Amino acid sequence: MPYINVGEENSGSIDLYYEDLGTGNPVVLIHGWPLSGASWEKQVTVLLAAGYRVITYDRRGFGQSAKPVTGYDYDTFSMDLYKLIAKLDLRNVALVGFSMGGGEVARYLGRYGSERVSKAVFISSVPPFLLKTADNPEGVDSSVFEGIKKALAADRPAFLSAFLADFYNVDLLGGKLISNQVVQYNWNVGVAASAKATFDCVSQWGTDFSKDLSRIDVPTLVIHGNADRILPVAATGIRTHKAVRGSRLVIVEGGPHGLTWTHAEKVNHELVEFLGLASAEACRNSQGRETCFAGHSVSGEIL
């Protein structure tokens, strides 16, 4: 299995697990909390069929990557991403971040620029600034983050179970767009993550990405569900769209936070269309015309 070394802790290496598949222009998929690169299952197949080289990786502390006790901040996360891109010598790369992964996209472009990056995609993402402050009254009160950390410390497996129910809006979509087995699989991945990483990452959700977003100078797509209970679209996706000059906003009607699974056809269509190098014929051959072209929209239109 491929790993990249991004540091050392005591006598051990901090190695990140990644998968590098296919040929063509590269697309790096950055997962959300508390999952792993495997959460991109429904996107990888379509992107490969459309002619892309697809790279997924597990953030430090999660999935099959090393689980150190330090480095759970966005400067470190973006440095890890930088090292991965440099190791693989990726150029003309599209960065796609889901949820917490959108923070890596923003901070990477804010710190390292777009020399190697061609496009950016934010899906159900945490930017621009989730923490409520005097200058950011639309944010979430810090007590919410403290409550989450308290619940994690008390009973992490139980908290993750409740979190995933809201992640996928199981009460509404269960048995229709999401199965119990998928939710259970996600719980298995999440509970196997480092407890320290899972806890520490919560504080990072309040990171201010405003300056990072203002520096983005590549074509940008923002996809968000209007039924997202984890990161409501008004506080995140719409504001990110406004903060990134010339960005395209797609709001998915009824989409929960985890719409990369529940509304994969619509998300995949928007991704393939935005990335621009997809072959419509390859997409039809792999998924069927209905899958490839479901949910077509124009900028800002609700699917």
Residue spans of the domains in the chain: they are: 3-129+207-293
Task: Write down the mean pLDDT value for the chain.
Answer: 92
Residue closest to 98 by CA, chosen among 56, 140, 68 = 56
More confident residue, 280 or 240: 240
CATH number of 3-129+207-293: 3.40.50.1820
Question: Does 263 qualify as catalytic in the annotation?
Answer: no
pLDDT at 138: 84
Contacting residues for 278 by C-beta, under 8 A, at least 6 apart = 50, 51, 52, 272
224 a catalytic residue: no
More confident call, 283 vs 87: 87
From 22, 299, 100, 64, select the one nearest 189 (Cα to Cα).
64
From 99, 124, 194, 247, active-site residue: 99
Active-site residue (options: 15, 80, 212, 228): 228
User: Taking phi first (over 0 means left), then psi (-120 to 50 degrees means alpha), and beta for anything else, what does residue 106 get?
Assistant: alpha
Q: What pLDDT is recorded for position 297?
A: 35
Stated pTM of the model: 0.91
Q: What is the pLDDT of residues 65-113, one digit of tens each?
A: 999 999 999 999 999 999 999 999 999 999 999 999 999 999 999 999 9
pLDDT band at 294 (very low <50, low <70, confident <90, very high): very low
Encode pLDDT of 4-55 as tens digits: 999 999 999 999 999 999 999 999 999 999 999 999 999 999 999 999 999 9
Whether 99 is catalytic: yes
Q: Could you tell me the pLDDT band of residue 136, with boundaries at 50, 70 and 90? A: very high
Q: Which of 224, 241, 257, 263 is catalytic?
A: 257
On the question of pLDDT at 287 being above 80, the answer is no
